[in-house]
Amino acid sequence: MRQIVLDTETTGIEVRDGHRLIEIGGVEVINRRLTGRHYHQYINPERPIDPEAIEVHGITDARVANEPVFAEIAHEFWAFVQGAELVIHNAPFDVGFIDHEFAMVNRARGNDELGPLASKCGILDTLKMARDRHPGQRNSLDALCKRYDIDNGHRELHGALLDSEILADVYLAMTGGQTALTLGADRDADSSNSSSGNTGFGIRRLASGRAALRVITASDEEAQAHQQKLAKLREKGVCLWDQLGG
């Protein structure tokens, strides 16, 4: 199954107020494995960015002044996401902005070649998923990172690509899977690498001449405390340690 974990940044909160996209970021996941393939693009919104929005994502008018407008990148982005399930935190927000941009391009060109997203993509809202799993709790991306022990210490401001990478880790943790980055996504490259001991999957081989691992044994005091604990368990009638031959 192909999924794109997606995030956007915008000039403001409401599409109906004329706000536009300024950044799109997405990472590809296939069969619950991060492939290393991603999409990232800054966009000239052709309008000023609200000061309140800049405080959130740190993207200024000057930063996107020389970036392409959405119409110039629309087909490339559409090709990247088509056929995938889109994993988005608070999906209605991002989908609403993207579909609005597609509709503007279609009107200008007199056709309906682009979008809406739901016509070619599945959409999974991780915010709704989190609220269903953790009712009554905070379910922001930062809160979920803390709940699922995902490191987001390098996230001082919002950014579409960074947030999509973090969301991928959160989504895989929420749905019971371990994240895995396939460094050698191309199968032919993997085959050629295997003969040299590099499988392309981040396997690190240890040198045969490495120092032996140091074994730390319990002190007499620690061993005595352990036996006392086991004795208390035996008094209660259950001691799994005995069943394991400990």
Q: Which residues are annotated as a binding site for a divalent metal cation?
A: 7, 9, 163
Question: For 50, what's the count of Cα atoms within 13 Å in the CB-facing half-sphere?
Answer: 15
Residues in a beta bridge with 28: 4
Q: For residue 181, give the nearest of 67, 30, 64 by alpha carbon.
A: 30
Token pair for residue 201?
């999957």
- List all residues 6 or more positions away from 238 whose beta carbon is below 8 Å from its beta carbon: none
Q: For residue 1, give the nearest of 30, 28, 37 by alpha carbon.
A: 30
For β-strands 2-10 and 21-30, DSSP reports them as antiparallel
Residue 6's SS3 state is: strand
* Under 8 Å between Cβ of 102 and 119: no
- List all residues 6 or more positions away from 246 whose beta carbon is below 8 Å from its beta carbon: none
Task: Measure the CA–CA gap between 130 and 199, rounded to whole angstroms.
Answer: 36
- From 19, 89, 100, 158, active-site residue: 158
Q: What is the CA radius of gyration of the chain?
A: 25
Task: Give, in order, the Cα–Cα distances in Å from 181 to each of 44, 168, 235.
Answer: 31, 11, 49
User: Does 158 participate in catalysis according to the annotation?
Assistant: yes
Give the annotated binding-site residues for substrate. 7, 9, 52, 57, 163
Catalytic (active-site) positions = 158
